[in-house]
Structure 1
Amino acid sequence: MALSFFDQFSIPYALWIPLVIPALMFPLIIIFSTNRIIKSRYLATQHWIINNIIKQLMLPISIPGHKWASTFITIMIILISLNTLGLLPYTFTPTTQLSMNMALALPTWLTTVLTGLRNQPTTSLGHLLPEGTPTPLIPMLILIETVSLLIRPIALGVRLTANLTAGHLLMQLTSTAVLAISSTMTLTSLLALLLLVLLTCLEMAVALIQAYVFTLLLTLYLQENI
């Protein structure tokens, strides 16, 4: 039973066909059936939300970094889509896989570092040694700052993986408990079902917040290098 809890992190198949394909058809139909030329309340609301997100993301970044706005909003929308994908039936959440998150975190973090080394190498390397450091502590501080710099993509990937995995496992445990006690303890199963609904709403909020936090940390890393 313990191993079956992790089945939700694999793609379900029926007749050798991944069920994630028909599950994705419904949101895709909604997206592509909307006429992008004719203005509507849906498009106006979408543009308003995106503009406000861009303003919040670009707030800690200086003017030269504003050209990265389209890149960051694209990353955030991709993460929101992947994080919320697992809440659909017959799907799984790709961002619960550490390899997936590292494949996204490592190149984006490395891009910010290489940008700093190209535009202002002296300032970027100067972050490895705080000003006014005593001479005997210089080798140790350089080592510590280098480790803290290299651990950033790992922190990005592990944070995203851990938060989404924990939430999905908790939902799986609660739903299993509801099915197990529904025939014997009706009132308790109803309370557990209410808890499951609340956990689903919480997991939706976590999916959105983690996508925002991931992108916001990337903007802060970029600010150090521009």
Structure 2
Amino acid sequence: MTVTLFDQFLSPTLFKVPLIAIALIIPWLLHHVVTTRFSSERLLSVKKVSVSTLTKHIFQPLGPLGHKWALLFVSLFMFLITLNVLGLLPYTFTPTTQLSLTFSLALPLWLATVLIGFRLDTTRALAHMLPQGTPPLLIPVLIIIETISVMIRPLALAVRLMANLTAGHLLIHLISTGVFLLTSMMPMTAILALMLLGLLTLLEIAVAVIQAYVFVLLLSLYLLENV
């Protein structure tokens, strides 16, 4: 059987049963349950500070209607960041490298923001399709272009998250393979490649956090246009 670099992104199976469901459940088991008791754990303190900072930056431009989405967006951010970081561990699987998962997250949330915009103010929602002061001859063309740009947003969200994580995983896989092959032939080169691999791993951790933040931030911007 021919093995390719992209085989690492296939959903693992056990007795021909896909294990992606377990990979999606594990992140929720790692987070603390909110209680009224005082907790001095450092990890929980860092989590609280991160969530409060995220909420402040994302929801500050939004009005009271947008603040109702805070719990959903923060939960989505924690879910994505946990999936992305866990996927960097050895012998693990990253579900967010699957376009089917990222698109299934992006499509309903984007559609919800659009439907809310039409429900609150249909005229204002349709006004986004045509910039003010457009020459009459360009009106049909601009309406088509703006409609396509709006309709393609969920696909762009999904591909952005999937492509960035996939590219990073491929680079880590290629460099780690090179380190393994060069260890016996060129030890000094292997050490340099190993140092590069360490730096790349740190970069990938940052990318895992940033991509989760960007995914939620773009959704909040779509919501801002409609509330």
Alignment TM-score, normalising by the size of structure 2 = 0.89
Q: 1:33 to 1:99 in 2, by over 3 A?
A: closer
Alignment of 1:59-78 (within 5 A): 59-78=60-79
SS at match of 1:60: coil
Q: Size of the alignment, in residue pairs?
A: 226
After TM superposition, give the deviation of residue 16 of structure 1 in Å: 7.0
1:120 matches 2:113 = no
1:4 corresponds to: 4
**Structure 1 stretch displaced more, 23-32 or 192-201:** 23-32
Amino acid at match of 1:60: P
Alignment of 1:40-79 (within 5 A): 40-42=40-42, 43-79=44-80
State whether residues 167 and 203 of structure 1, in contact with CA within 8 Å, keep that contact through their aligned partners in structure 2: yes
Q: Distance in 2 between matches of 1:106 and 1:21?
A: 20
1:56-115 Cα offsets, whole Å, 9 max, x none, are 111232333112111111111111112112112221111111111111110110010000
SS at match of 2:211: helix
2:139 corresponds to: 138
Q: Distance in 2 between matches of 1:115 and 1:19?
A: 35
Q: 1:30 to 1:59 in 2, by over 3 A?
A: closer
State whether residues 23 and 88 of structure 1, in contact with CA within 8 Å, keep that contact through their aligned partners in structure 2: no
Q: 1:191 to 1:93 in 2, by over 3 A?
A: same
Q: Using the aligned pairs only, state the percent identity.
A: 53
**Structure 1 stretch displaced more, 62-71 or 103-112:** 62-71
State whether residues 12 and 90 of structure 1, in contact with CA within 8 Å, keep that contact through their aligned partners in structure 2: no
After TM superposition, give the deviation of residue 143 of structure 1 in Å: 0.4
Q: 1:103 to 1:25 in 2, by over 3 A?
A: closer
1:134-191 Cα offsets, whole Å, 9 max, x none, are 1111111110100000011111011111100000000000000001111010000011
Alignment of 1:1-226 (within 5 A): 3-12=3-12, 31=31, 37-42=37-42, 43-226=44-227
Q: 1:146 to 1:28 in 2, by over 3 A?
A: closer
After TM superposition, give the deviation of residue 40 of structure 1 in Å: 1.2
State whether residues 12 and 91 of structure 1, in contact with CA within 8 Å, keep that contact through their aligned partners in structure 2: no
**Structure 1 stretch displaced more, 30-39 or 50-59:** 30-39
Runs of 5+ consecutive residues of structure 2 not aligned to the other structure: none
RMSD over aligned Cα, in angstroms? 2.8
Alignment TM-score, normalising by the size of structure 1 = 0.89
State whether residues 19 and 90 of structure 1, in contact with CA within 8 Å, keep that contact through their aligned partners in structure 2: no
State whether residues 129 and 142 of structure 1, in contact with CA within 8 Å, keep that contact through their aligned partners in structure 2: yes
State whether residues 19 and 91 of structure 1, in contact with CA within 8 Å, keep that contact through their aligned partners in structure 2: no
Amino acid at match of 1:212: Y
Q: Distance in 2 between matches of 1:26 and 1:65?
A: 29
Q: 1:40 to 1:2 in 2, by over 3 A?
A: farther
Runs of 5+ consecutive residues of structure 1 not aligned to the other structure: none
After TM superposition, give the deviation of residue 54 of structure 1 in Å: 0.6
SS at match of 2:88: coil
State whether residues 96 and 164 of structure 1, in contact with CA within 8 Å, keep that contact through their aligned partners in structure 2: yes
State whether residues 76 and 212 of structure 1, in contact with CA within 8 Å, keep that contact through their aligned partners in structure 2: yes
Q: Distance in 1 between matches of 2:21 and 2:144?
A: 47
State whether residues 96 and 162 of structure 1, in contact with CA within 8 Å, keep that contact through their aligned partners in structure 2: yes
